[in-house]
Amino acid sequence: MLAAPEPSPDPSLSETDANQTFDALIWALSRPGIPRGLPAAGEARIIRALLDRECRAYSADPLILPEIMRTGAQIAEIDAADHVFLGALQDLAPLDRIALGSDLYPDDGATVVLRGQIGQGPGLRLSGPGIESTLTVQIGGLPSGFWQKRRALIRYPMGFEIFILDGAAVIGIPRSTDIEVL
Amino acid sequence: MKLADLTKPWEALSYGFLDASAKREMRRKMLKSIAVPGCQMPYASREVPMARGWGTGGLQVSLTLVNPRTRVKVIDQGADDSVNAASIRRFIARVAGTPTTMDTLEAGLIQSRHRVPEEILRDDQVLVLQVPNPEPLRSVQPNMSIARQMHADADYGRMWLQLYEQIVRSGRVMQGASYPSLVHGRHVMTPSPIPRWDVPKQHMARHLTILSAGREKRIFAVPPFTRVEPLVFSDVPYKVEDHGDLTCTRSGTRGYFMNEIPQNDGTSAYEVSDSEWGVKTIRAAEDGGETRGETWYKDGKMS
């Protein structure tokens, strides 16, 4: 009889990275508006933790593309992509084309990752699941009218999730969050 | 791009049993299920060395979330020492090298079948519930394509009708476990077969709950501070089991969910369902050391 392979109780480096990154993402998305630290700055860790050959990804930032291609994910147009990396967003036009999923399959809505500045810029009042009553945060570096546009696009349960990266800090904004610009 | 970038060192078995692509799929679906609380998301549900229906859905979530510092607690009907709970706990510890515990307060991740612990969970804890039947509409609509359309339309009239019929026929709601609950005012979910006693614990809780059905290949979640409202009529209030006055025959604790143990003379004895709560109560009585945390129910009433 063959001996069963011994399990490895020590995770590999990539596994540890992905686990920590996902831990930050799930925590951030469960508690919208509260920043959480990723193991390292930038989109690369998120890409490695989430993307593989079953994904279609779009990136507005060409510097991220090699990292996406390394995962085997298909590079797609923005409206066909389930993961959208917008980098530092300049104008609102790309938002119109982001996949929202359907009422039947809300999970087809995209996950959007973009860069911003946490603690600067306009104040936002957040409410919804994950927030006890309301929470006020400042998120800068996004084009003006971004949150109004998001509100106009999302028809819950259709919509998309946003992760805002500022260095190694990440804020998650699920589609269920109501945002009022102060 | 170099060949070395595309490969990884050989491993006898992936950390945490699941391979990396299975974990990535779980991660993507967990994020989506948190974004739309209570909405059932389909997922692949890989093979694990356990029969479907024995907690494979919960196990896949746990194996994706754990790292060597996650302290794992597994319970089955409230008990840490039942065969299913002990096997799952040992399996996770073996393939992921995690420390284990029976103490709710020490645990980072709690995988559970059919109970929510009595002690209040904190925001750094994750509760993973095993779900046998994730579709609350199945009893009123066996066709799952139509049921999905009903969820899309928030068409829950038949759920209300079912509750109404139970009240008319029996004088009360007959749903003992998996009481249908409206999450975030939009999706009706089954909270898994937890007793009615445990449903209010999900409402505006501090912890994240992930519910995963391995056999049915669906996952859904209740994020922290999310409204979970059992379906009730405004003139027929929601009732939990009448366990508030019962005393555990083994530990003497009172006012928690009990297991009924039929006796030979036709009467019943009761023992507390959350086994570790009972153990802590006995220990506190023996040596006076208090290790019990705050509970959701105080004096048999939800606080």
| Residue numbers of B between 221 and 280 with CB closer than 8 Å to A | 223-227
**Chain B contacts of A66, Cβ < 8 Å?**
1
Report whether A102 contacts B152 (CB < 8 A).
Answer: yes
Q: Are B21 and A52 inside 8 Å of each other by CB?
A: yes
**Chain A contacts of B204, Cβ < 8 Å?**
132
* Residues A112-143: tens digit of each pLDDT: 999 999 999 899 999 999 999 999 999 999 99
A5 pLDDT band, cuts 50/70/90, is low
By the 10 Å C-beta count (0-12 exposed, 13-18 middle, 19+ buried), B88 is classed as buried
**Residue B212 exposure: Cα atoms within 13 Å on the Cβ side:** 29
Report whether A163 contacts A25 (CB < 8 A).
Answer: yes
State whether residue B185 sits within 8 Å of chain A by CB.
Answer: no
* Residues B266-284: tens digit of each pLDDT: 999 999 999 999 999 999 9
Asked if residue A55 belongs to a domain, the reply is yes
- Which residue would you say has higher pLDDT here, A60 or A3? A60
Residues 6+ apart with CB under 8 A from B264: none
* Residues B160-208: tens digit of each pLDDT: 999 999 999 999 888 889 999 999 999 999 999 999 999 999 999 999 9
pLDDT score of A87 more than 50? yes
Report whether A101 contacts A153 (CB < 8 A).
Answer: no
Asked if residue A1 belongs to a domain, the reply is no
Structural domains of chain B, with CATH? 20-228 (3.40.50.11310)
Among A31, A104, A131, whose Cβ lies nearest the Cβ of B152? A104
| pLDDT average, residue stretch A83-87 | 96
Asked if residue A2 belongs to a domain, the reply is no
For testing the chain B interface, which of A30, A127, A178 should be mutated: the one with the most B CBs within 10 Å? A30
Asked if residue A96 belongs to a domain, the reply is yes
- Minimum CA–CA partner of A83 in chain B: B28
**Distance, CA of A51 to CA of A67 (rounded, Å):** 10
State whether residue A102 sits within 8 Å of chain B by CB.
Answer: yes
CATH number of the domain at A47, please: 3.40.50.11310
How many domains is chain A partitioned into structurally? Answer: 1
Q: Are A7 and B95 inside 8 Å of each other by CB?
A: yes
Q: Are B95 and A9 inside 8 Å of each other by CB?
A: yes
Query: pLDDT tens per residue, chain B (303 residues)?
Result: 778 777 777 888 889 999 999 999 999 999 999 999 999 999 999 999 999 999 999 999 999 999 999 999 999 999 999 999 999 999 999 999 999 999 999 999 999 999 999 999 999 999 999 999 999 999 999 999 999 999 999 999 999 999 999 999 999 888 889 999 999 999 999 999 999 999 999 999 999 999 999 999 999 999 999 999 999 999 999 999 999 999 999 999 999 999 999 999 999 999 999 999 999 999 999 988 888 999 999 988 998
pLDDT of residue B176: 86
Asked if residue A8 belongs to a domain, the reply is no
State whether residue B143 sits within 8 Å of chain A by CB.
Answer: no
Q: Are B226 and A129 inside 8 Å of each other by CB?
A: yes
pLDDT of residue A6: 58
Q: What is the ipTM of this complex?
A: 0.95
pLDDT of residue B10: 82
Asked if residue A151 belongs to a domain, the reply is yes
pLDDT of residue A4: 55
Asked if residue A3 belongs to a domain, the reply is no
Mean per-residue pLDDT over chain A, rounded? 93
State whether residue A134 sits within 8 Å of chain B by CB.
Answer: no
* Residues A46-77: tens digit of each pLDDT: 999 999 999 999 999 999 999 999 999 999 99
Task: Give kind and range of the element (H or E) at residue A26.
Answer: helix A13-30
- Minimum CA–CA partner of B7 in chain A: A70
Asked if residue A80 belongs to a domain, the reply is yes
A1 pLDDT band, cuts 50/70/90, is very low
Whole-Å CA distances, B95 to A7, A135, B12, B15:
5, 40, 11, 6
* Residues A11-51: tens digit of each pLDDT: 888 899 999 999 999 999 999 999 999 999 999 999 999 99
Q: Would strands B268-272 and B258-262 be described as parallel, antiparallel, or unpaired?
A: antiparallel
Q: Are A176 and B21 inside 8 Å of each other by CB?
A: no
State whether residue A8 sits within 8 Å of chain B by CB.
Answer: yes
Q: List, as one string, the DSSP characters of B190-209.
A: ---S-BGGGHHHHTT-SSEE
Boundaries of domain holding A135: 13-181
Q: Produce one character per residue of B150-166: b if its CB has 16 or more CB atoms within 10 Å, e if not.
A: bbbeeebeebeebbeee
